[in-house]
Copies of this chain bind each other. A is one copy, B any other.
Amino acid sequence: MAEAGAFAFEVTGRDPASHARTGRLTTPHGAIETPAFLFCGTKASVKGVSPADLRAAGTDIILANTYHLMIQPGADIVAALGGLHGFMGWDGPMLTDSGGFQIFSMGHGSVADEVKGRRGQERPQTLIRITEDGATFKSYLDGRQLFLSPEGSMEIQRKLGADLIVQLDECTPFHVDRDYTARSMAMSMRWGDRCLADFARHDDGRQALYGIIQGGVYPELRQECSEYTRDRAFFGTAVGGSLGADKDQMREVVGYCMPHWHPDRPVHLLGIGGIGDIFAGVRLGIDSFDCVSPTRVARHGWALVRGAPGERMNLRNARYREDPEPIDPACPCYTCRTFSRAYLQHLVRAKEPLALNLVSVHNIVTMNRLMREIREAIGGGTLDALERAWIPDTE
């Protein structure tokens, strides 16, 4: 059991056949059951879904992105409005990331694609330089030059006021070599120490700090960084950076870390949200996940469905043009209780803004249902059967 002031993490059950576990993560804004999924409210708003809709969809934890919010509207404005909780009207637990991922993502062209092993199209590079002090980069909004240090990230996250906050790290692209990865990781660990020191100076019990495991695809680097986080006074552990080129490599990389991270602390896997990936992560002992995918795919007319080929249904498919069925007859969400696939297809095709809201609500309910069923299956030792029910086409 990990404890720090009002924060606690308690393991409440274990899967007999894997490292999967259930737990309870307590924060000043309430406790959540793990494994849990955190929905992304990047700019202090989950795209097209109000806090009331999030709650009605069974959501109990969300995250917001330090990088976007430090640029617009700025951390001071959020602080003046009561922090993120007051600002965005969310009264449950929240996490902010450090800002590093997006700085390096936008800076290196597209790390977001690269850490997942995809080489995307070129984007304008906004990262100017990385030094021991921190990162200098250009605002995505107006091009003005900005600087983020470990202490600066802590200060901004303090102003944003999320319950769970994360140390600053450099997020290395997938293609960089072992030498660069090792040097970058060493600097991220020094940044971690500076974050811890700054956090300790200001700690008033309202926040808890996660360390990050970097180290690319290199087993001994992942081990070293896992031991680093284990041996420091972080409340939680986050797994970040390049997780390999595909699902199997992601499992491998998380597997390099798992034996060496702190066994009693909550572990968060950054930026992973596929249903198959979640089953794989849960089996390796991951306690929480986040990803933009449930709302991002909704925007393109994809509905997450238990048991669907490829984990989801393409509402644009002509076969649904006159289909009176809801997305998922077994789903209790507002969208499935009220609307047909035909109507949702119409909204998606007509580019009606309501499509984003309705399909997102369904996807959020579905992810919350997935996590609840995973927690029940861990308790009952039926994780394999549950995975086959959610992903029948899995090997």
Identify which of A68, A322, A354 gathers the most chain B CB atoms within 10 Å of its CB. A354
Chain A 19-30 per-residue mask, 1 if CB under 8 angstroms from chain B, else 0 = 000000000000
User: Given the complex, which residues of B lie within 8 Å of A322, measured CB to CB?
Assistant: 77, 80-81
Complex: A49 Cα to B356 Cα, angstroms: 11
> How many A residues touch B, CB cutoff 8 Å?
40
- Interfacial residues of chain A within 325-354, with CB under 8 A of chain B in the complex: 334, 338-340, 342-343, 345-347, 349-350, 352-354
Asked if A180 lies at the interface with its beta carbon under 8 angstroms from chain B, I say: no
User: Given the complex, which residues of B lie within 8 Å of A353, measured CB to CB?
Assistant: 47-48, 353, 356-357
Complex: A46 Cα to B48 Cα, angstroms: 14
Cross-chain contact B324 with A50 (CB below 8 angstroms): no
Asked if A372 lies at the interface with its beta carbon under 8 angstroms from chain B, I say: no
Copies of this polypeptide in the complex? 2
Asked if A120 lies at the interface with its beta carbon under 8 angstroms from chain B, I say: no
Asked if A313 lies at the interface with its beta carbon under 8 angstroms from chain B, I say: no
| 13 CB < 8 A contacts A-B | A43-B350, A45-B352, A47-B352, A47-B353, A47-B354, A50-B334, A52-B334, A72-B349, A73-B349, A77-B346, A89-B338, A89-B339, A89-B343
Q: How far is the CB of A161 from chain B (nearest CB, A)?
A: 14
User: Given the complex, which residues of B lie within 8 Å of A350, measured CB to CB?
Assistant: 43, 45, 68, 72
Q: How far is the CB of A67 from chain B (nearest CB, A)?
A: 13
User: Given the complex, which residues of B lie within 8 Å of A345, measured CB to CB?
Assistant: 73
- 12 further interface pairs, Cβ-Cβ under 8 Å (given A50-B357, A87-B340): A44-B346, A45-B354, A46-B354, A49-B354, A50-B334, A50-B354, A52-B334, A68-B350, A73-B342, A73-B349, A77-B322, A89-B338
Asked if A312 lies at the interface with its beta carbon under 8 angstroms from chain B, I say: no
Residue of B nearest to A87 (CB): B343
User: Given the complex, which residues of B lie within 8 Å of A43, measured CB to CB?
Assistant: 346-347, 350, 352
User: Given the complex, which residues of B lie within 8 Å of A340, measured CB to CB?
Assistant: 81, 87
Asked if A118 lies at the interface with its beta carbon under 8 angstroms from chain B, I say: no
Asked if A138 lies at the interface with its beta carbon under 8 angstroms from chain B, I say: no
Cross-chain contact A77 with B321 (CB below 8 angstroms): yes
